[in-house]
Structure 1
C-alpha cells in the first residue's frame, strides 16, 4: 500500500525555525499526489550584522536533527531548505556535506542548493550569472567565491542586507523587482537568487518575461530538482520556465 495523500511522492523539507517562506512556496508548487512534510531546525534568530560564522556552526547540528525528525514518516526524498552551510566552505566541501545529509536521512535522496542550481543552469547552458543574496557583504563574498570556484563567471552580486534570518522574509516583492533590474545586464545569461527565506518565486516567474532570461530562485529550483530527480515530470504553471519547460 502507498500513502493515501502522497501516492506519487513524499517530500521531506528541512528549514530553519526562522524560515517562513520555503514551506508556503513549496506547498504552492506541489503537484497532485505529492505531499510535503516539514521539519524545523531548532535555531535562534542570530544577528547577521557582523559575521555569519556562528550561524553556520550552530546550524550544522540542527540540520541533522531536523532531518531525523522527518525520517520516521518515510519520505521518498529530502530537500535541504538552508543555504549558508552549503556555500560557506566552498565547492570542494560539498560532497562531504551532501554525504552527511544523506547519512542523516538514512540514505534516501537529498536535494541541496548547489546541485539544484548547477542542474538548472546546465538546462539553460548559462555560465555568466548575476546573483542575489539576502546577506551583508561577508555572505555575498562567500557565495560569489563558491560560484566562481565552481566555474561560473559572476558578473555581479547584490546582497539584500538583511540583519537577521527572520528579517529575510520581510523583503518585499517591490524590492526584489528593483534588485533584479539593478543586477541585470546584457552580458548576464541567468540570474540566481540564494536564500530560502526570500519569498521570490512569483517575482522570478514574472521577471523572466521582462528580462528574457532565466531567473532561478532558491525555493523553486530546490523543489524542481527534488521532483525531477524522483520521477515527477509534471509542468507546474506560475513559477517560471524551470517548472513549465524542464
Structure 2
C-alpha cells in the first residue's frame, strides 16, 4: 500500500520533563500550545511532600529522564516543568543536568521563562502567588529578588503535595491573584506548573488591569521563542498579545 508519511509536529517538537506526581502541566501546556506543535512528556522521580529537601533531591534524576525524550529523534526544545524545583536548584544547574541527557538541546524552565516574560511586559515590581508552603514560597520570591525584581507582596496557599495543588479550584487561584495584588505592582506572577492557572489569565488581567504571568504560560511563550515560532496565540494574556521577544536565551552547555 502506497502512502505519503505525514510529519509529526510539523512546526516543532516540545519535550516536557515533569514530576512523577504532576497532574496538571501537560493539560495546561497543551491548552496553550498551537496545534502544529507536539508535546512529548517524560517524568522524573520525586516524592511528596513538596519541601525544599525533596525538591533538591529530585534534580539528580534529570539526566536519565532527559535521555528518554524521543531517543534517536530528539526534541526542538526541552521544558523542565517545576517552578519550585528550579528555584531551589538553580536555572543554570537545571539546564546543565538536562543537557547531560540531551546534549545541545535548547532548554527552558519556569523560573527563567517567567523572568523573561515579566521583563517582556515591562514589569519591575511584582506580586507573587504560589500554592506552596512558606519556605518554598520564599525560595521562589528570593529567586526573583536575586534577578533584580522588587517583590511587593507574596502569598501561598500552604499546600505540600501535587494532588492538592491541582485540586485547587481555578476560582480560588483567581481570588488569590486579586488578593496578592498591590497597587504598585506592575504585574502578578502565579507560580507552579501543577495548578490550573491557564484558564484564569484573561479574567485576572481584566479585573486587575495589569499583566498576569503564570508558570505554564511563560514556559510556552519562551519555548516558542527559542524555536522561533512566529504564529500568533490569543486568549492567554498580554504576554502573547503584545510582549516583545525575550532579550536573552538559555545558554546551552
TM-score (norm 2): 0.88
Aligned pair 1:65/2:57, yes or no? no
The verdict on how the C-alpha distance between 1:244 and 1:168 changes in structure 2, with shifts beyond 3 A counting, is same
After superposition, where does 1:2-151 map in structure 2 within 5 Å? 4-44=7-47, 46-48=48-50, 52-72=51-71, 73-89=73-89, 93-151=90-148
- The separation in 2 between residues aligned to 1:135 and 1:183, in whole angstroms, is 14
**Matched residues in 2 for 1:11 and 1:47: separation?**
28
- TM-score, normalised relative to structure 1: 0.90
State the alpha-carbon separation in 2 of the partners of residues 117 and 62 from structure 1.
24
Residue 211 (structure 2) pairs with residue 211 (structure 1): no
Q: Show structure 1 runs of 5+ residues with no match.
A: none
Give the aligned partner of residue 198 of structure 2: 201
Give the secondary structure class of the aligned counterpart of 2:14.
strand
Q: Once the 2 structures are TM-superposed, how far is the Cα of residue 57 of structure 1 from its aligned partner?
A: 3.0
Query: Which string of whole-angstrom CA distances, capped at 9 and with x for unpartnered residues, describes residues 105-139 of structure 1?
Result: 22110011222112111211111000011111111
1:139-218 aligned within 5 A: 139-218=136-215
**RMSD of aligned C-alpha atoms?**
1.9
CA separation of 1:96/1:2 partners in 2, compared to 1, >3 Å: closer, same or farther? farther
Match of 1:231 among 228, 239, 253: 228
Q: Could you give the per-residue CA deviations for residues 216-240 of structure 1, whole angstroms, max 9, x where no partner exists?
A: 0101110111011111122222211
Moved more, 2-11 or 167-176: 2-11
The change in CA–CA distance for 1:74 and 1:3 in structure 2 (over 3 A counts) is: farther
Distance 1:190 1:198 in 2: 19
Gaps of 5+ in 2: 244-253
| Compared CA separation, residues 3 and 131, structure 1 to 2 (3 A) | farther
